[in-house]
Amino acid sequence: MSTRRDHRQKSAKKRRNKVTAFEIVPKHRLKLVFYIICFGLFSLMGRMAWLQVIQSPQLEAKARLRQTKRTKPLGTRRSIVDRRGRLVALDEERFRLWAHPKYFNFLGDQPSLVRTPKEVSKKLSDILEISQENLLDLMQGRSSGVRLVDGLNSEIAQEIKKLGISGLDLEPYPQRMYPQGKLFANVVGFLNQERIPQAGLEQSLHEKLLRVEQSRTMRRGADGTPLPDDLAPGIFNSDDLRLHLTLDARLQELALNALVSQVETWKGKKGVALVMDVMNGELLALASTPTYDPNNYWNFSPSLFREWSVQDLFEPGSTFKPINLAIALQEGVINSGGKVNDTGKMIIGGWSIFNYDKRANGIIDFARVLQVSSNVGMAKIMNKVDSKKYWNWLRRLGVDSKPQTDLPGAIPGQLKNKHDFTSMPIEPVTASFGQGFSLTPLKLAQLHALIANGGYLVQPHITKGFYSGDVNTSPTLINKQKILKSDVTHTILNWMESVVEHGSGKGVKTSGHRIGGKTGTAQKAINGVYQPGLKICSFVAILPISDPRFVVLVVVDEPKGENAYGSTVAVPVAKKIIDGLIVLERVLPSNEKKDLQPARE
């Protein structure tokens, strides 16, 4: 054993001590190695040059595509609020839930594991309040692009995000909401499912209601951190403008409730009630019935989507008599102390003219003409005005022209042409008690504001402008046109006050407050033909008489019943509105009967 081991050790020692002789490497081999190394270096440099010079734009584009995210504008709209800041219309963020079953994967799962629609439905069912069976039916046999539900609010969307389920996609979108429901539907309008405005201010102010939005491109680092470069100045500035209305939600609700109750009581076709500031034309209330809920517009007839107070015409009847008396005073054919003989009946051009009660009132002053609503008295008064001048006055007052207003869809009234009006004696006579021509309720309110404010024709409007905080970026311009003398309007106001004190307007008397008014009960004409039994009942009020601030107008179309008059149908609605207006606008009492103060000009 030892001899064999010794032999192996000697053999190993000989190998270690063996010297290998160096050989000279051939020059061609060194050159080959050198050329190979140089070729590799030049190839690397060429590749780098190719990437950095030739392919640089394409590679940079690919990098930016991975590093950046471009957001598209959602098309949101500015909010609308009433005069006290109460929300009328706003955009709320909603979410649409999409499912892609081929990518279903739970938080913590292996990337290659694909969960079944049944497992996902089980987790979603309680959150969405939809049965598992219905969810499975939606996803059955589809691998991607399944829309599960619309209209999810942010709270539900957040719960779905917390589940951490791959293959579920939440798509945000704005949804127009109307918190006041029916209250402002007649003037604000609505957006349809495609967010296309269909009526009201939403349609007429569409471009102005769109928020200023820009597409944003955000670069992100490897860890997802936003890199604020290449961003346009002001890209993150928010558009906080809001459209302020002149309408008061509290007064609007009061007016609508009173109007609806009375229209239902008298089985009327429709009705409108409005309150106007006589000095600047602001409408504090504009309620009409029937109306609709803009949040569920599809449940209502499209015929309700228009505001008839500016789009339908009616003959004002006796509520126009104060306007005619003002014309007569302005022309100087009567004076404040004059009188007229009411014979109860008169014949004009073969036509018989009667008072509504067919009674003669004898010799009465002009205040009494309004109190008893004498048609014969008015006909005799206006016969003193040259028919051409009378027609010119109706034109000057804008009876047949469209009122300048921001209310959408406003239309002009209708007036006979000058030749017919002046050549047919019956035309000025019927016009004297408010028939034979037509206008909108809005126009009638504007003309009574003219009486109340000392003779100025103001523009009725419902918007104050777009506000950012307390700053009005687009104020409403108030134009005033002097039409009547102040002493003329003061006289008319005193006569209208006597209607409330002693005539058909007694129903609006309020202790401590001086109120003027005039009732109207007009026959209704359809296509120029008066219809038996069809009436339009109205009442207009001005308050306070000592220093006029407001016009209140109520019109009810086609009330049913023998006792349907302006005093029984329209006056009770006006009374409720006036009582609320006095409180909301803090109208001070004026107990003492005194002469009118000069109008604020």
Residue 229 pLDDT more than 60? no
Query: Is residue 518 within 8 Å of residue 315, measured between CB atoms?
Result: no
What percent of the residues of the chain are helix, what percent strand, and what percent coil, each to the nearest 5?
A: 40, 25, 35
Homologous superfamily of the 64-86+180-245 domain (CATH)? Penicillin-binding protein 2a (Domain 2) (3.90.1310.10)
Residue 597 pLDDT more than 60? no
Q: Rounded to whole angstroms, what are the CA distances from 439 to 89, 203, 227, 310?
A: 30, 24, 62, 9
User: What pLDDT shows up at residue 533?
Assistant: 82
Residue 536 pLDDT more than 90? yes
The model's confidence at residue 235, banded by pLDDT at 50, 70 and 90, is: very low
CATH architecture, range 249-292+307-465+477-584: 3-Layer(aba) Sandwich (3.40)
pLDDT digits (tens, 9 = 90+) for 95-114: 999 999 999 999 888 888 98
Q: CA-CA distance, 77 to 269, in Å (whole number)?
A: 35
pLDDT digits (tens, 9 = 90+) for 165-201: 998 999 888 889 999 999 999 999 999 988 899 999 9
DSSP 3-state of 133? helix
CATH topology of domain 92-178: Penicillin-binding protein 2a (Domain 2) (3.90.1310)
Q: CA-CA distance, 563 to 176, in Å (whole number)?
A: 44
Of the listed ranges 12-16, 177-181, 468-472, 556-560, the least confidently predicted one is 12-16
Tokens standing for residue 428: 């000025």
Residue 275 pLDDT more than 60? yes
Q: CA-CA distance, 598 to 601, in Å (whole number)?
A: 9
Which position among 318, 374, 538, 567 bears the catalytic label? 318
Tokens standing for residue 177: 């909401």
Tokens standing for residue 548: 């006029």
Q: CA-CA distance, 284 to 543, in Å (whole number)?
A: 14
Q: CA-CA distance, 550 to 62, in Å (whole number)?
A: 67
Domain residue ranges in the chain: 64-86+180-245, 92-178, 249-292+307-465+477-584
Tokens standing for residue 137: 């039916």
Q: CA-CA distance, 279 to 462, in Å (whole number)?
A: 14
User: What pLDDT shows up at residue 339?
Assistant: 95
pLDDT digits (tens, 9 = 90+) for 390-411: 999 999 999 999 888 999 989 9
Residue 350 pLDDT more than 90? no
The model's confidence at residue 72, banded by pLDDT at 50, 70 and 90, is: low
Helical residues (DSSP H) of 50-96, grouped into ranges: 56-67
318 counts as catalytic: yes
Residue with more model confidence, 44 or 570: 570
User: What pLDDT shows up at residue 571?
Assistant: 97
Residue 225 pLDDT more than 90? no
Please, which residues bridge with residue 342 across strands?
362
Residue 46 pLDDT more than 60? yes
Residue 480 pLDDT more than 70? yes
Percent of the chain exceeding pLDDT 90 equals: 60
Torsion angle of C-alpha atoms 112, 117, 118, 120, degrees rounded to 10: 80
The model's confidence at residue 236, banded by pLDDT at 50, 70 and 90, is: very low
249-292+307-465+477-584 has the same fold as 64-86+180-245: no
Question: In the predicted model, what is the mean pLDDT of residues 474-501?
Answer: 88
Query: Is residue 364 within 8 Å of residue 372, measured between CB atoms?
Result: yes
With tokens 């029937």, the residue in question is: 290
User: What pLDDT shows up at residue 17?
Assistant: 62
The model's confidence at residue 473, banded by pLDDT at 50, 70 and 90, is: low
Q: Tell how strand 68-71 and strand 226-227 pair up.
A: unpaired
Helical residues (DSSP H) of 210-335, grouped into ranges: 249-265, 308-311, 321-331
The model's confidence at residue 419, banded by pLDDT at 50, 70 and 90, is: very high
Q: CA-CA distance, 255 to 442, in Å (whole number)?
A: 16
Q: What rounded mean pLDDT belongs to the chain? A: 87
Of the listed ranges 249-253, 356-360, 421-425, 523-527, the least confidently predicted one is 523-527
Q: Answer whether the bond into residue 197 is a cis peptide, omega within 30°.
A: no
Per residue, the 3-state secondary structure of 162-223, as one string, reads HHCCECEEEEEEEEEECCCHHHHHHHHCCECCCCCECCHHHHHCHHHHECCCCCEEEEECCC
